[in-house]
Amino acid sequence: MSYRVVIVLGVADRVRLSVVQAYRFALDLTPRQERAVLAHAGAARVAHNWTLARVKAVMDQRAAERTYGIDEADLTPTQGWSLPALRKSWNAAKSDVAPWWAECSKEAYNTGLDALARALKNWSDSRSGKRAGRPVGFPRFKSRRRSTPSVRFTTGAIRVEPDRKHVVLPRLGRLKLHESARKLARRLDAGTARILSATVRRDGGRWFVAFCVEVDRAARTPNQPQVVVGVDLGVRHLAVLSTGEVEPNPRHLDAAGRRLRRLARRASRRVGPDRRTGRRASKRWERARAQLGRAHARVANLRRDGLHKLTTRLAREFGTIVVEDLNVAGMLRNRRLARCIADAGFAELRRQLAYKTGWNGGRLVVADRWYPSSKTCSGCGAVKTKLALFERTYTCAMCGLVLDRDVNAARNLAALAVTVAGSGSETRNGRGADRKTRPGGPVAVKRQPGTAKAGKTGTVPPQGRTSNHVPAYAS
C-alpha cells in the first residue's frame, strides 16, 4: 500500500527571502496608559458587538419577511459583511451609538470591525464547504469580562525609539518596554524590515505589543544539508530522533499542577460574580483570579520557549526533517492521555518546523497519518498486525531486531524521505486529498458484499489494505 506525504520545500536557492515575522515585547505601562489601552480595547468591543447586532437583526428581519410572502426585491436591504461595508454602517451610526468615539483612535473601531468581517467570512465559507477543517460557528458577542483586551494599529506613527526601550503608537504615545527591542531595531536601521502593524494585547495579567514585520532574511543552509532525520513525537519522550537522541518531555503542566490546584481552590472560596443576581465580584476574588491566570501563563511561556529552542536547533542542524501527521483531535478524546498530549504541544511543534525549515533552507516531510511507522521493522520492513501501546520495545519476528519502539519509528520516518525525494507539490492534508468541509452531514454508502474465509467476518484485511476477493453476488 502506498502512502502520501506532505513536502515543504526549502529556499536554499534564493539569495534573499521575504517573510512576515512577529516580534513580541512585554510592556511596562503606567496606570494612565493602561486605562487608555483598555479604553481602546473597549471601543473595539463596542464596534464589534453593535455591528454584529445589526447583521443579526437584518438577517432575522429578512427571514421573517419571507414567511409573510414578500418578494425578494421588496425585502429589507441586506447588510454587507465586508470590512468596508461594516465600516460604512458604523460610521453612519457611531455618533448615536458611541458619542465618545472621538476619544479613541479609529484603529480601535477598525479592530473590532475587521474581526467581525473575518468571522462572518469564515462562517460562510465553512457552511458552503470552501473552508477546510472543523465547522465554524456563527460569530458571538464579546464580553467585557471573558474577552481578551486587544487593539491593532495599522496606520499612523508606529516606531521604535532610538533608545530601543520605548515604542510609539498612535494615540497611546510613548510606551516603555520591559526588555530591549534591539533585535527589531537593528533590522529597521539596516533597512531589512518594515513594520506592517502593531497589536497591544493583555495576556496572563501582562501587556504585550506584537509587531507584524516584513523581513528580508538572508538565505541559509543547514549545518548538515544532506542528513535526513526522523522525529517521532510522544508523551513519554517529547521527541525521539532517528539518530538515537532523546528529547525529554518537561511536562510543565504537571510540574505546576500543585500550585494551580491551590490557586484554583483559593479562587473558588472567594465571592465571584453572579450574572443571575447581578452580584459583582469581590476584590479578593479578582486578585485570586489574576494569580491563577499568571500561573497558567507561566506554564504556556515555558512550553513555548522549550518548543522554540527544539525546533530552531533541528531546523539549523538537519537538511530534511520527517514528522508524522498526528490526529491530535482524536488523541485528545482519550481521557487518560488528553492532559499529557495537550501539554506536549504537538501541533505547535509541527507549525514551527514548517516555517523554520524554510528560513534555514531545509525541507519538512510530513508522513501520512496512516503510515505504520511504529509497526514497521526498520531492519527488514516487516509490518506487525497489532502493537499495543504498552509495548515499548519493538521485537521483529522475521529478522530478530530488538529496538526501542520510538527509535524504530523515527528510523522508519527517516527512511520514508528517501522514497519521496522526487514527489510533487504540497498536498492539503495528511492523506493527500484536497478535502473541504462538507456542507451537510455524513452520507451513508452501501458496501458490496464479498467473500471471506471461514471464521472471518470482515472483508477488509488489517493495515488498511483493500480486499482483493471477487464479490459474490446473489443469483
Residues that are catalytic: 232, 324, 406
Backbone torsions φ then ψ of 321, nearest 5 degrees: -120, 130
Q: Give the CA-trace dihedral at 177, 182, 187, 193, to 10 degrees.
A: -10
How far apart are alpha carbons 321 and 102 in whole angstroms?
A: 53
Locate 120 and state its grid cell: 462572518
Short-list 310, 296, 189, 203, CA closest to 249: 310
The residue count of the chain comes to 475
**Where would I find the beta strands (DSSP E) of 172-245?**
173-177, 193-203, 206-218, 224-233, 237-241
Is residue 66 within 8 Å of residue 131, measured between CB atoms? no
Cα-to-chain-centroid distance, residue 279: 36
Rg (CA), the chain: 27
Backbone angles phi, psi at 443, to 5 degrees: -105, 125
Backbone angles phi, psi at 18, to 5 degrees: -95, 120
Q: At what angle do helices 106-128 and 31-67 cross, to 10 degrees?
A: 40
Instruction: Specify burial of residue 362 (Cβ count, 10 A radius: 0-12, 13-18, 19+).
Output: buried
What's the rounded Cα separation, in Å, for the pair 260 and 268? Answer: 12
